[in-house]
Structure 1
Amino acid sequence: MSISSVRDARRYDSGVTVAGENESAELPHVMLLDRAFRVVSVTGDADLRAHGCEPGRPSLTEWLPAAQRAPFTRRLTRLRQGRLRSLHYRGPLTVPGRAEAVVSLDAHLIRPVVADAWIVVVVSRRENGPDETFTMPVLTARVLEGIAAGLSTADIGAELHLTVRGVEYHVSSLLRRTSSTNRAGLVGRAHALGILLPGSWPPRVDPALVR
């Protein structure tokens, strides 16, 4: 996991909605947790306050079924202590104000990359496989991965040896094809369509869609 991939997971506008989906069905795509496993940042979903993230910053475990909370907390503790490299959970998740959904959740230790966060959690829900008609060139896929990782246009250009105009060309194409109005919406839509692999950090486009 690169520092640049997690340094600004909170760059996305908290007011984004996913194009083509009912807001009540939305879930966070990336969450940052502090050392007590409280949510300090959410990206890819609507207003942070709508999820009870402020004040008090709820623990992620509060959103799990009661029977799962204690064992999941133990695993998070082992992750925080460096005794696990990552952990995976698949099951129900209930975000305040949202309907329960079965999700795939992957957590990775990132301390001390982000000052007030210890763990990054990638949450995805993909009931169907990816739309295999939504293929893209390798370079476009790398640009999308950079956007999903929170990289700036300049960072993406430097990493892929593209000019600013070159990066924007790929971004414009992705926005148009996903009917998204901004980069945050693009990331949410890419998750919803199954273009980005569930539970992957740094973000990765499904190899089946890269030509």
Structure 2
Amino acid sequence: MKNAGPDTAEILHDASRDWSQQPYRDNYLALFEQSLFCMANLDLEFRIMEANQHFARQFDWRPGQGMERDFCELLHPSVQGKLKNELIRLADGQSPRFADHLVAMGAQEAVFRGEVTGIAVRSGVGRVDRILVLVDPEDSENGPQIISARRKLFSPMHARILEGVAAGESTVQLATKLFLSRGGVEYHVSSLLRKLKVTNRPALISKSYSLGVFAVGQWPPRVRPEFVSD
């Protein structure tokens, strides 16, 4: 994460403060408007109510665009469920803050990675009345990867081959299970390598995970349905 500096660290240190009181309110507004972070205020249904210029720029929004949009819609399917649960805990007052890895869909459906921090902001009566999110995109030498989570990348056969490779199955095992010749399996694997622009099986699986093709924490691996054509 970027060096937030002592002022930012102090302002964000205690999420249970009453931010409606001075001087915290002035500090909060200054942080929101001047921070180098991408920042947004969410209501308790996770709709974006306010976003600073860095947040808008990350998603290629014009001034005022994106307001009242569900923040969770910006998240990649590979992290959407987990981060939504974290936000629910904030809104319910079960947790004051969280920090986690982020994969999100930016401008033109470009996937970018980084860190996200969520903070429950409390009102004068101590109840959570909004959520502050800070997004810190990681620097990438190659720039963001362009891929749509809604794009059907794989045929059903390619999906089964990819799952088998991810599970460590050999060409012979895949051929037996899928009623293919060994040459047929190798043909499909070569097609997958070209599709994802990688050169070998380990890279194929690593890139598939990085793009959210596989559901996180599931074994044996399963390709997410939204990536498979009907």
Give yes or no for TM over 0.5: no
Of structures 1 and 2, the one with the larger relative CO (CA 8 A, separation 6+) is 1
Structure having the larger proportion of residues in helix = 2
- Structure 1-normalised TM-score? 0.43
